[in-house]
Amino acid sequence: MKTILAFRESEYAWVHEKFPCVHPLLLPLCNKPFIEFLIDFAILAGSSAVRILCDGGLGEVERYCEDGSRWGIDLSYASIHPDDSIHAMLGKNRKFCGEERVMIVSGFSFIRYDKRYDYKSFVSSMPPGEWSTCPGGRITLTGVPTKAVPDWLIADLSLMPLDSMTSYYQASMETLKTGESRYVLPGYGDEPECAFGRNVVISKSVEIRKPVSIGNNVQLLGNAIIGPSAIIGSNVIIDRESSVESSIVFDNTYIGEHLEIIGRIASGNRLNDPKSGASIAMEDPHLLSGIKKNRHLRSLPRKIVHACVALVIIAAFFIPFIILWPLLKLGGHWKSSPASFLAERTDETMPLAKVEVDASGAAAAIAVALSLDRYFRLFRVVTGQLALIGSTPLLAGESRPDAPAYVPAYLPGVFSYAEAEEWAATGGDATIVERFHLAHSNPLTDIGLVIKAFINRFQEKSTI
Protein backbone atom coordinates (compact mmCIF):
# COMPACT_ATOMS: atom_id res chain seq x y z
CA MET A 1 0.00 0.00 0.00
CA LYS A 2 1.18 3.50 -0.78
CA THR A 3 0.01 6.92 0.29
CA ILE A 4 -0.10 10.24 -1.51
CA LEU A 5 -0.42 13.38 0.59
CA ALA A 6 -1.48 16.26 -1.65
CA PHE A 7 -1.68 19.95 -0.80
CA ARG A 8 -2.33 23.20 -2.59
CA GLU A 9 -0.84 26.51 -1.54
CA SER A 10 -4.25 28.15 -1.59
CA GLU A 11 -5.46 25.78 1.15
CA TYR A 12 -2.86 26.93 3.64
CA ALA A 13 -2.29 30.53 2.55
CA TRP A 14 -3.65 31.67 5.94
CA VAL A 15 -0.72 29.96 7.70
CA HIS A 16 1.80 31.99 5.69
CA GLU A 17 0.03 35.13 6.78
CA LYS A 18 -0.41 34.28 10.47
CA PHE A 19 2.71 32.22 11.15
CA PRO A 20 5.26 33.29 8.54
CA CYS A 21 8.14 31.69 10.42
CA VAL A 22 6.97 28.12 9.77
CA HIS A 23 6.19 26.13 6.63
CA PRO A 24 2.45 25.29 6.80
CA LEU A 25 3.11 21.56 6.54
CA LEU A 26 5.41 21.85 9.55
CA LEU A 27 2.88 23.82 11.58
CA PRO A 28 3.13 22.33 15.08
CA LEU A 29 0.13 20.64 16.66
CA CYS A 30 0.97 19.82 20.24
CA ASN A 31 4.68 20.24 19.45
CA LYS A 32 4.58 17.83 16.53
CA PRO A 33 4.65 19.06 12.92
CA PHE A 34 1.34 18.63 11.10
CA ILE A 35 2.87 16.47 8.35
CA GLU A 36 4.10 13.94 10.92
CA PHE A 37 0.53 13.18 11.99
CA LEU A 38 -0.29 12.31 8.38
CA ILE A 39 2.85 10.21 8.00
CA ASP A 40 1.97 8.36 11.22
CA PHE A 41 -1.51 7.71 9.87
CA ALA A 42 -0.14 6.48 6.52
CA ILE A 43 2.06 4.02 8.43
CA LEU A 44 -0.88 2.88 10.58
CA ALA A 45 -2.79 2.26 7.36
CA GLY A 46 0.02 -0.01 6.19
CA SER A 47 1.93 2.24 3.77
CA SER A 48 5.48 1.39 2.89
CA ALA A 49 5.97 4.52 0.78
CA VAL A 50 4.56 8.03 1.03
CA ARG A 51 4.78 10.77 -1.56
CA ILE A 52 4.12 14.40 -0.69
CA LEU A 53 2.69 16.46 -3.55
CA CYS A 54 2.34 20.20 -3.52
CA ASP A 55 1.97 23.07 -5.96
CA GLY A 56 4.26 25.20 -3.76
CA GLY A 57 7.75 24.84 -2.32
CA LEU A 58 8.59 21.76 -0.29
CA GLY A 59 12.25 22.56 0.46
CA GLU A 60 11.78 23.05 4.22
CA VAL A 61 9.56 19.98 4.49
CA GLU A 62 12.15 17.92 2.67
CA ARG A 63 14.94 19.19 4.91
CA TYR A 64 12.87 18.14 7.93
CA CYS A 65 11.47 14.79 6.75
CA GLU A 66 14.33 13.81 4.42
CA ASP A 67 13.85 10.40 2.82
CA GLY A 68 11.56 9.02 5.53
CA SER A 69 14.11 6.55 6.86
CA ARG A 70 13.42 7.91 10.36
CA TRP A 71 9.94 6.37 10.11
CA GLY A 72 11.11 3.30 8.20
CA ILE A 73 9.31 4.28 5.01
CA ASP A 74 10.28 5.67 1.60
CA LEU A 75 9.34 9.31 1.46
CA SER A 76 9.46 11.21 -1.83
CA TYR A 77 8.29 14.56 -3.12
CA ALA A 78 6.77 15.82 -6.35
CA SER A 79 4.94 18.82 -7.67
CA ILE A 80 1.40 19.23 -8.92
CA HIS A 81 -0.60 22.00 -10.52
CA PRO A 82 -3.24 23.81 -8.47
CA ASP A 83 -6.04 22.51 -10.67
CA ASP A 84 -4.90 18.86 -10.84
CA SER A 85 -7.67 16.38 -10.06
CA ILE A 86 -7.03 13.15 -8.16
CA HIS A 87 -6.99 11.39 -11.51
CA ALA A 88 -4.29 13.79 -12.77
CA MET A 89 -2.24 13.30 -9.60
CA LEU A 90 -2.36 9.54 -10.05
CA GLY A 91 -1.26 9.95 -13.68
CA LYS A 92 1.66 12.17 -12.74
CA ASN A 93 2.77 9.61 -10.17
CA ARG A 94 2.04 6.44 -12.13
CA LYS A 95 5.43 4.89 -11.49
CA PHE A 96 5.17 5.54 -7.76
CA CYS A 97 1.67 4.05 -7.54
CA GLY A 98 2.43 0.99 -9.63
CA GLU A 99 -0.23 -1.67 -9.32
CA GLU A 100 -0.69 -1.22 -5.59
CA ARG A 101 -3.59 0.14 -3.60
CA VAL A 102 -3.13 3.87 -3.05
CA MET A 103 -4.60 6.08 -0.34
CA ILE A 104 -4.78 9.74 -1.35
CA VAL A 105 -5.11 12.25 1.45
CA SER A 106 -5.75 15.61 -0.13
CA GLY A 107 -6.31 19.00 1.43
CA PHE A 108 -4.98 20.81 4.46
CA SER A 109 -7.04 19.03 7.06
CA PHE A 110 -6.33 17.20 10.28
CA ILE A 111 -7.18 13.50 10.52
CA ARG A 112 -8.74 12.56 13.84
CA TYR A 113 -7.59 8.96 14.06
CA ASP A 114 -6.90 6.60 16.92
CA LYS A 115 -3.69 4.63 16.92
CA ARG A 116 -5.42 1.73 18.71
CA TYR A 117 -7.55 0.88 15.65
CA ASP A 118 -6.46 -1.57 12.97
CA TYR A 119 -6.52 0.78 9.98
CA LYS A 120 -4.26 -1.54 8.00
CA SER A 121 -6.90 -4.30 7.79
CA PHE A 122 -9.60 -1.73 7.26
CA VAL A 123 -7.85 -0.01 4.34
CA SER A 124 -6.99 -3.28 2.63
CA SER A 125 -10.64 -4.38 2.77
CA MET A 126 -12.41 -1.12 1.87
CA PRO A 127 -13.88 -0.73 -1.63
CA PRO A 128 -12.24 1.94 -3.80
CA GLY A 129 -13.65 5.46 -3.58
CA GLU A 130 -14.03 8.18 -1.03
CA TRP A 131 -13.41 7.12 2.56
CA SER A 132 -13.87 10.34 4.46
CA THR A 133 -14.40 13.95 3.56
CA CYS A 134 -14.67 17.42 5.03
CA PRO A 135 -14.79 20.89 3.45
CA GLY A 136 -11.44 21.19 1.67
CA GLY A 137 -10.18 17.71 2.49
CA ARG A 138 -10.78 14.08 1.58
CA ILE A 139 -9.32 10.60 1.81
CA THR A 140 -9.71 8.44 -1.29
CA LEU A 141 -8.71 4.86 -1.96
CA THR A 142 -7.84 3.39 -5.35
CA GLY A 143 -7.25 -0.17 -6.45
CA VAL A 144 -9.02 -3.36 -5.53
CA PRO A 145 -9.34 -4.50 -1.92
CA THR A 146 -7.06 -7.35 -0.94
CA LYS A 147 -9.18 -8.64 1.98
CA ALA A 148 -12.85 -8.96 2.90
CA VAL A 149 -14.12 -6.58 5.61
CA PRO A 150 -14.40 -8.45 8.91
CA ASP A 151 -17.71 -7.68 10.67
CA TRP A 152 -16.04 -6.83 13.93
CA LEU A 153 -13.69 -4.26 12.44
CA ILE A 154 -14.09 -0.69 13.59
CA ALA A 155 -11.66 1.93 12.36
CA ASP A 156 -13.27 5.29 12.81
CA LEU A 157 -11.77 8.51 11.70
CA SER A 158 -12.92 11.98 10.75
CA LEU A 159 -11.40 14.95 9.01
CA MET A 160 -11.22 18.43 10.42
CA PRO A 161 -10.42 21.27 8.03
CA LEU A 162 -7.50 23.45 9.07
CA ASP A 163 -8.74 26.53 7.30
CA SER A 164 -8.21 29.22 9.92
CA MET A 165 -6.43 30.02 13.13
CA THR A 166 -9.61 29.05 15.00
CA SER A 167 -9.65 25.51 13.62
CA TYR A 168 -5.89 25.19 14.14
CA TYR A 169 -6.31 26.20 17.79
CA GLN A 170 -9.19 23.73 18.22
CA ALA A 171 -7.19 20.89 16.66
CA SER A 172 -4.20 21.66 18.88
CA MET A 173 -6.24 21.77 22.07
CA GLU A 174 -8.14 18.63 21.11
CA THR A 175 -4.86 16.81 20.46
CA LEU A 176 -3.49 17.96 23.80
CA LYS A 177 -6.62 16.73 25.57
CA THR A 178 -6.82 13.32 23.89
CA GLY A 179 -3.04 13.11 24.09
CA GLU A 180 -1.03 9.94 23.92
CA SER A 181 -4.08 7.68 23.87
CA ARG A 182 -4.92 8.56 20.24
CA TYR A 183 -1.69 9.91 18.73
CA VAL A 184 2.02 9.45 19.04
CA LEU A 185 3.15 12.70 20.68
CA PRO A 186 6.63 13.99 21.52
CA GLY A 187 8.00 14.47 25.03
CA TYR A 188 8.64 12.50 28.16
CA GLY A 189 6.88 12.47 31.51
CA ASP A 190 5.87 10.15 34.30
CA GLU A 191 2.44 11.68 34.66
CA PRO A 192 -0.34 11.47 32.09
CA GLU A 193 -1.19 14.70 30.26
CA CYS A 194 2.25 16.14 31.02
CA ALA A 195 4.85 15.87 28.27
CA PHE A 196 8.26 17.50 28.61
CA GLY A 197 11.03 17.81 26.04
CA ARG A 198 14.77 17.76 26.64
CA ASN A 199 16.53 20.44 28.71
CA VAL A 200 13.48 21.93 30.39
CA VAL A 201 14.48 24.06 33.38
CA ILE A 202 11.65 24.67 35.85
CA SER A 203 12.10 26.96 38.86
CA LYS A 204 10.77 25.56 42.14
CA SER A 205 7.95 28.07 42.44
CA VAL A 206 6.51 27.28 38.99
CA GLU A 207 3.03 25.80 39.01
CA ILE A 208 2.15 23.27 36.30
CA ARG A 209 -1.56 22.59 35.72
CA LYS A 210 -2.34 19.65 33.44
CA PRO A 211 -2.67 19.09 30.54
CA VAL A 212 0.56 20.61 29.22
CA SER A 213 3.03 19.87 26.46
CA ILE A 214 6.45 21.49 26.66
CA GLY A 215 9.17 21.40 24.00
CA ASN A 216 12.97 21.29 24.22
CA ASN A 217 15.26 23.94 25.77
CA VAL A 218 12.59 25.69 27.78
CA GLN A 219 13.05 27.83 30.88
CA LEU A 220 10.10 28.43 33.18
CA LEU A 221 11.08 31.09 35.68
CA GLY A 222 9.89 31.91 39.20
CA ASN A 223 6.16 31.86 40.00
CA ALA A 224 5.14 31.23 36.40
CA ILE A 225 1.86 29.34 36.02
CA ILE A 226 1.75 26.94 33.10
CA GLY A 227 -1.60 25.48 32.15
CA PRO A 228 -4.13 24.15 32.15
CA SER A 229 -4.06 23.45 28.41
CA ALA A 230 -0.71 25.05 27.60
CA ILE A 231 1.39 24.04 24.61
CA ILE A 232 4.87 25.51 24.90
CA GLY A 233 7.24 25.07 21.93
CA SER A 234 11.03 24.72 21.93
CA ASN A 235 13.58 27.42 22.82
CA VAL A 236 11.06 29.30 24.90
CA ILE A 237 11.49 31.32 28.08
CA ILE A 238 8.49 32.10 30.27
CA ASP A 239 9.67 34.84 32.56
CA ARG A 240 8.81 35.49 36.21
CA GLU A 241 5.21 35.81 37.38
CA SER A 242 3.75 35.13 33.93
CA SER A 243 0.98 32.68 33.21
CA VAL A 244 0.14 30.70 30.10
CA GLU A 245 -3.30 29.11 30.06
CA SER A 246 -5.31 27.55 27.20
CA SER A 247 -2.65 28.91 24.89
CA ILE A 248 -0.01 27.91 22.38
CA VAL A 249 3.48 29.40 22.54
CA PHE A 250 5.48 28.79 19.36
CA ASP A 251 9.18 27.95 19.17
CA ASN A 252 11.72 30.73 19.81
CA THR A 253 9.37 32.93 21.77
CA TYR A 254 10.15 34.81 24.93
CA ILE A 255 7.25 35.65 27.19
CA GLY A 256 8.31 38.59 29.35
CA GLU A 257 7.59 39.16 33.05
CA HIS A 258 4.11 39.62 34.51
CA LEU A 259 2.22 38.66 31.38
CA GLU A 260 -1.02 36.75 31.20
CA ILE A 261 -1.41 34.70 28.06
CA ILE A 262 -4.90 33.22 28.17
CA GLY A 263 -6.62 31.71 25.14
CA ARG A 264 -3.95 33.04 22.78
CA ILE A 265 -1.34 31.88 20.30
CA ALA A 266 2.02 33.57 20.87
CA SER A 267 4.39 33.27 17.95
CA GLY A 268 7.65 35.22 17.92
CA ASN A 269 6.53 38.80 18.12
CA ARG A 270 2.86 38.14 17.38
CA LEU A 271 0.10 37.59 19.84
CA ASN A 272 -2.94 36.09 18.14
CA ASP A 273 -6.51 35.69 19.27
CA PRO A 274 -7.64 32.39 17.74
CA LYS A 275 -11.32 33.24 18.12
CA SER A 276 -11.37 36.55 16.27
CA GLY A 277 -8.27 35.88 14.18
CA ALA A 278 -6.86 39.25 15.27
CA SER A 279 -3.15 39.53 15.85
CA ILE A 280 -0.88 42.17 17.27
CA ALA A 281 2.75 42.40 16.17
CA MET A 282 5.25 43.46 18.81
CA GLU A 283 8.44 45.34 18.03
CA ASP A 284 10.89 42.55 18.69
CA PRO A 285 10.53 39.17 16.97
CA HIS A 286 11.57 37.26 20.07
CA LEU A 287 10.45 39.50 22.89
CA LEU A 288 6.76 39.49 23.45
CA SER A 289 7.22 42.02 26.24
CA GLY A 290 9.59 43.97 24.02
CA ILE A 291 7.45 47.07 23.99
CA LYS A 292 9.11 47.98 27.25
CA LYS A 293 12.70 48.75 26.34
CA ASN A 294 15.49 48.18 28.78
CA ARG A 295 16.39 51.67 29.88
CA HIS A 296 19.85 50.62 30.93
CA LEU A 297 20.78 49.35 27.51
CA ARG A 298 22.05 52.57 26.03
CA SER A 299 22.65 54.51 29.20
CA LEU A 300 25.86 56.44 29.77
CA PRO A 301 26.77 54.61 33.03
CA ARG A 302 26.61 51.32 31.13
CA LYS A 303 28.92 52.61 28.42
CA ILE A 304 31.33 53.95 31.03
CA VAL A 305 31.37 50.65 32.95
CA HIS A 306 31.92 48.69 29.73
CA ALA A 307 34.70 51.04 28.60
CA CYS A 308 36.47 50.85 31.98
CA VAL A 309 36.34 47.05 32.06
CA ALA A 310 37.55 46.94 28.44
CA LEU A 311 40.52 49.15 29.41
CA VAL A 312 41.35 46.78 32.28
CA ILE A 313 41.26 43.78 29.90
CA ILE A 314 43.35 45.64 27.31
CA ALA A 315 45.98 46.36 29.96
CA ALA A 316 45.89 42.87 31.45
CA PHE A 317 46.34 41.10 28.12
CA PHE A 318 48.69 43.60 26.53
CA ILE A 319 51.81 41.52 27.19
CA PRO A 320 50.49 38.16 25.93
CA PHE A 321 48.98 39.95 22.95
CA ILE A 322 52.16 41.82 22.01
CA ILE A 323 54.12 38.54 22.17
CA LEU A 324 51.67 36.18 20.51
CA TRP A 325 50.11 38.36 17.83
CA PRO A 326 53.30 39.01 15.79
CA LEU A 327 54.32 35.37 16.21
CA LEU A 328 51.00 34.08 14.89
CA LYS A 329 50.79 36.70 12.18
CA LEU A 330 54.25 35.81 10.86
CA GLY A 331 53.52 32.09 11.08
CA GLY A 332 50.32 32.51 9.03
CA HIS A 333 48.13 31.30 11.92
CA TRP A 334 46.39 34.66 12.42
CA LYS A 335 44.08 35.56 9.58
CA SER A 336 42.18 38.77 9.52
CA SER A 337 39.73 39.88 6.85
CA PRO A 338 37.62 43.02 6.74
CA ALA A 339 33.88 42.58 6.94
CA SER A 340 30.88 44.79 7.37
CA PHE A 341 28.65 44.18 10.39
CA LEU A 342 25.28 45.54 11.40
CA ALA A 343 25.72 48.41 13.84
CA GLU A 344 23.57 49.17 16.87
CA ARG A 345 21.57 51.76 14.99
CA THR A 346 19.13 50.39 12.47
CA ASP A 347 20.33 50.50 8.85
CA GLU A 348 23.90 51.41 9.82
CA THR A 349 26.86 49.15 9.37
CA MET A 350 30.37 49.21 10.77
CA PRO A 351 33.59 47.68 9.49
CA LEU A 352 35.10 45.07 11.79
CA ALA A 353 37.92 42.63 11.20
CA LYS A 354 36.96 38.95 11.18
CA VAL A 355 39.83 37.22 12.92
CA GLU A 356 40.44 33.51 12.57
CA VAL A 357 43.23 31.90 14.54
CA ASP A 358 44.32 28.48 13.44
CA ALA A 359 44.70 26.85 16.87
CA SER A 360 47.04 24.07 15.77
CA GLY A 361 50.11 25.19 17.75
CA ALA A 362 50.63 25.97 21.43
CA ALA A 363 50.91 29.74 20.88
CA ALA A 364 47.73 29.80 18.85
CA ALA A 365 45.89 27.68 21.39
CA ILE A 366 46.87 30.09 24.18
CA ALA A 367 45.81 33.08 22.08
CA VAL A 368 42.43 31.55 21.37
CA ALA A 369 41.90 30.46 24.97
CA LEU A 370 42.66 34.02 26.14
CA SER A 371 40.24 35.42 23.53
CA LEU A 372 43.03 37.47 21.97
CA ASP A 373 41.17 37.14 18.67
CA ARG A 374 38.76 39.73 20.16
CA TYR A 375 41.56 42.03 21.42
CA PHE A 376 41.26 44.67 18.70
CA ARG A 377 37.50 44.85 19.22
CA LEU A 378 38.03 45.95 22.83
CA PHE A 379 39.16 49.34 21.53
CA ARG A 380 35.74 49.74 19.90
CA VAL A 381 34.23 49.46 23.37
CA VAL A 382 36.36 52.37 24.54
CA THR A 383 35.12 54.45 21.60
CA GLY A 384 31.53 53.38 22.31
CA GLN A 385 30.93 51.56 19.01
CA LEU A 386 30.60 48.14 20.61
CA ALA A 387 29.37 46.94 23.97
CA LEU A 388 31.72 44.76 25.99
CA ILE A 389 28.99 42.14 26.12
CA GLY A 390 25.79 42.13 24.07
CA SER A 391 24.49 40.51 20.91
CA THR A 392 26.62 38.53 18.49
CA PRO A 393 27.57 41.03 15.76
CA LEU A 394 25.73 40.09 12.58
CA LEU A 395 27.31 40.28 9.17
CA ALA A 396 25.69 42.92 6.99
CA GLY A 397 24.21 41.54 3.82
CA GLU A 398 23.22 38.18 5.28
CA SER A 399 19.59 37.53 4.66
CA ARG A 400 18.02 37.13 8.09
CA PRO A 401 14.37 38.05 8.32
CA ASP A 402 14.59 38.21 12.11
CA ALA A 403 17.89 40.12 12.15
CA PRO A 404 18.03 41.89 15.49
CA ALA A 405 19.51 44.91 13.74
CA TYR A 406 15.96 45.79 12.79
CA VAL A 407 14.65 45.68 16.33
CA PRO A 408 15.41 47.66 19.47
CA ALA A 409 17.10 44.86 21.37
CA TYR A 410 20.31 44.50 19.41
CA LEU A 411 23.57 45.69 20.86
CA PRO A 412 26.63 44.21 19.15
CA GLY A 413 29.29 43.28 21.66
CA VAL A 414 32.85 41.96 21.84
CA PHE A 415 31.45 39.02 23.76
CA SER A 416 27.89 37.80 23.39
CA TYR A 417 25.46 36.95 26.15
CA ALA A 418 25.02 33.56 24.52
CA GLU A 419 28.69 32.87 25.19
CA ALA A 420 28.07 33.49 28.88
CA GLU A 421 25.53 30.67 28.98
CA GLU A 422 26.21 26.99 28.87
CA TRP A 423 23.79 26.65 25.96
CA ALA A 424 25.15 26.35 22.47
CA ALA A 425 26.05 29.87 21.34
CA THR A 426 24.35 29.50 18.00
CA GLY A 427 20.94 29.53 16.36
CA GLY A 428 17.63 30.12 18.05
CA ASP A 429 18.90 29.25 21.54
CA ALA A 430 21.53 31.97 21.39
CA THR A 431 19.03 34.50 20.08
CA ILE A 432 16.67 33.81 22.95
CA VAL A 433 19.43 34.08 25.57
CA GLU A 434 20.65 37.34 24.08
CA ARG A 435 17.14 38.79 24.12
CA PHE A 436 16.67 37.77 27.72
CA HIS A 437 19.84 39.47 28.92
CA LEU A 438 19.28 42.53 26.78
CA ALA A 439 15.99 42.91 28.58
CA HIS A 440 17.26 42.18 32.08
CA SER A 441 20.94 42.95 32.46
CA ASN A 442 22.48 46.03 34.02
CA PRO A 443 26.08 47.31 34.03
CA LEU A 444 27.01 45.30 37.12
CA THR A 445 25.54 41.99 35.99
CA ASP A 446 27.29 42.60 32.68
CA ILE A 447 30.68 42.38 34.41
CA GLY A 448 29.76 38.97 35.82
CA LEU A 449 28.53 37.81 32.43
CA VAL A 450 31.75 38.98 30.73
CA ILE A 451 33.73 36.87 33.20
CA LYS A 452 31.44 33.89 32.51
CA ALA A 453 31.76 34.33 28.74
CA PHE A 454 35.52 34.59 29.08
CA ILE A 455 35.69 31.42 31.20
CA ASN A 456 33.35 29.54 28.84
CA ARG A 457 35.47 30.52 25.84
CA PHE A 458 38.62 29.58 27.73
CA GLN A 459 37.24 26.14 28.64
CA GLU A 460 35.83 25.54 25.21
CA LYS A 461 39.02 26.51 23.38
CA SER A 462 41.36 24.80 25.78
CA THR A 463 39.50 21.49 25.45
CA ILE A 464 39.49 21.39 21.62
Q: How far apart are CA 431 and CA 394, in angstroms?
A: 12
Q: How far apart are CA 24 and CA 7, in angstroms?
A: 10
Q: How far apart are CA 350 and CA 352, in angstroms?
A: 6
Nearer to another protein by Cβ, of 53 and 438: the residue is 53
Report the relative pairing of strands 212-214 and 334-342 from DSSP bridges: unpaired
Nearer to another protein by Cβ, of 171 and 369: the residue is 369
Report the relative pairing of strands 129-134 and 74-79 from DSSP bridges: unpaired
Nearer to another protein by Cβ, of 64 and 77: the residue is 77
Nearer to another protein by Cβ, of 84 and 419: the residue is 84
Residues at the contact surface with another protein, assessed by CB under 8 A:
55, 57-59, 66-67, 77-79, 81, 91-96, 339, 358, 360, 395, 397-399
Tell the smallest beta-carbon distance from residue 261 to another protein (Å). Answer: 34
Residue of 293, 285, 211 lying closest to 251 (CA atoms): 285
User: 235 CB contacts (<8 Å, ≥6 apart)?
Assistant: 215, 216, 217, 218, 251, 252, 428, 429, 432
- Structural contact between residues 7 and 54, judged by C-beta atoms closer than 8 angstroms: yes
- Structural contact between residues 280 and 263, judged by C-beta atoms closer than 8 angstroms: no
User: Which DSSP string corresponds to 277-343?
Assistant: --EEE-SBTTBTTTTS--TTTT-HHHHHHHHHHHHHHHHHTHHHHHHHHHHHHHTT-EEEEEEEEE-
Residue of 16, 165, 5, 164 lying closest to 75 (CA atoms): 5
Residue of 248, 181, 217 lying closest to 31 (CA atoms): 248
Tell the smallest beta-carbon distance from residue 91 to another protein (Å). Answer: 5
Nearer to another protein by Cβ, of 80 and 244: the residue is 80
Tell the smallest beta-carbon distance from residue 12 to another protein (Å). Answer: 16
Nearer to another protein by Cβ, of 25 and 218: the residue is 25
CA dihedral of residues 300, 305, 308, 312 (deg, nearest 10):
-160
Tell the smallest beta-carbon distance from residue 151 to another protein (Å). Answer: 39
Q: How far apart are CA 223 and CA 19, in angstroms?
A: 29
Q: How far apart are CA 123 and CA 229, in angstroms?
A: 34
Nearer to another protein by Cβ, of 2 and 112: the residue is 2
Tell the smallest beta-carbon distance from residue 89 to another protein (Å). Answer: 11
Q: How far apart are CA 382 and CA 121, in angstroms?
A: 73
Nearer to another protein by Cβ, of 98 and 135: the residue is 98
Tell the smallest beta-carbon distance from residue 95 to another protein (Å). Answer: 4
User: 44 CB contacts (<8 Å, ≥6 apart)?
Assistant: 113, 115, 117, 119, 120
Nearer to another protein by Cβ, of 91 and 277: the residue is 91
Q: Cα dist. 313→307, 326, 372, 386, 393 in Å?
A: 10, 19, 10, 15, 20
**In angstroms, how far is CA 134 from the centroid of its own chain?**
31
Tell the smallest beta-carbon distance from residue 55 to another protein (Å). Answer: 7
Nearer to another protein by Cβ, of 383 and 399: the residue is 399
Tell the smallest beta-carbon distance from residue 358 to another protein (Å). Answer: 6
Tell the smallest beta-carbon distance from residue 232 to another protein (Å). Answer: 30
